[in-house]
Amino acid sequence: MYGHIYHWMILTKVIDMDFTDVRKAIKAQLSIQGINSTIIDCCYNLYYDETNNIKHFVIKDSTHDFNVEADTIFVLGGVEGNSSVTLAELKALFHLQDNIKEIKSKHVYSGSFTDCLKSRILDIYLDLVKENNWASPFSVTQHALLGNSRYS
């Protein structure tokens, strides 16, 4: 049976998660909608990371202000596909130092938006995504403006 085990990679740690019940519910929903449910019978690798994870979004008692800027944007994203590449392979491909533990944006690009688009490493990465037919799932959340006096 395919599609019920996904391998989530966080740096070098692999977490196996069983999605059998979720998969059955999705397949039933697809069937009801007249969609061939075999489209989910694939095993994918998902590599993801986050940015601007503030951990806690609270109002300070003393100042009635937020602990972080309310318009902070949290992004969770990555790449997925049924082929994979190791960190060592990426470091060699991008000509990065062997001692880095993860690839961060500072290793790939810097500067203005147009400067980032000129990055040699970003170009190599996008070619890799295209050649391997990888998808780029992501989620963006902006922290709520909860009536703080600065914003009301």
Number of domains in the chain: 1
Summarize pLDDT for 89-99 with one digit per residue, the tens. Answer: 999 999 999 99
Looking only at the bridges linking them, the beta strands covering 73-81 and 45-51 are antiparallel
Residue 78 lies in a domain: no
Kindly state the average pLDDT of the residues 3-12: 44
Residue 6 lies in a domain: yes
Summarize pLDDT for 34-71 with one digit per residue, the tens. Answer: 988 887 777 777 787 777 677 777 777 777 777 777 77
**Against a cut of 0.85, is the pTM above it?**
no
Residue 13 lies in a domain: yes
Residue 93 lies in a domain: no
Q: Which residues form the domain of 38?
A: 1-43
Q: Tell me, what's the pLDDT at 16?
A: 67
Residue 23 lies in a domain: yes
Residue 109 lies in a domain: no
Q: Label residue 130 by pLDDT band (50, 70, 90).
A: very high
Cβ–Cβ under 8 Å, residues 123 and 109: no
**Sequence-ordered list of residues with C-beta below 8 angstroms from that of 116, at least 6 positions apart, any chain:** 109, 110, 122
Residue 14 lies in a domain: yes
Residue 69 lies in a domain: no
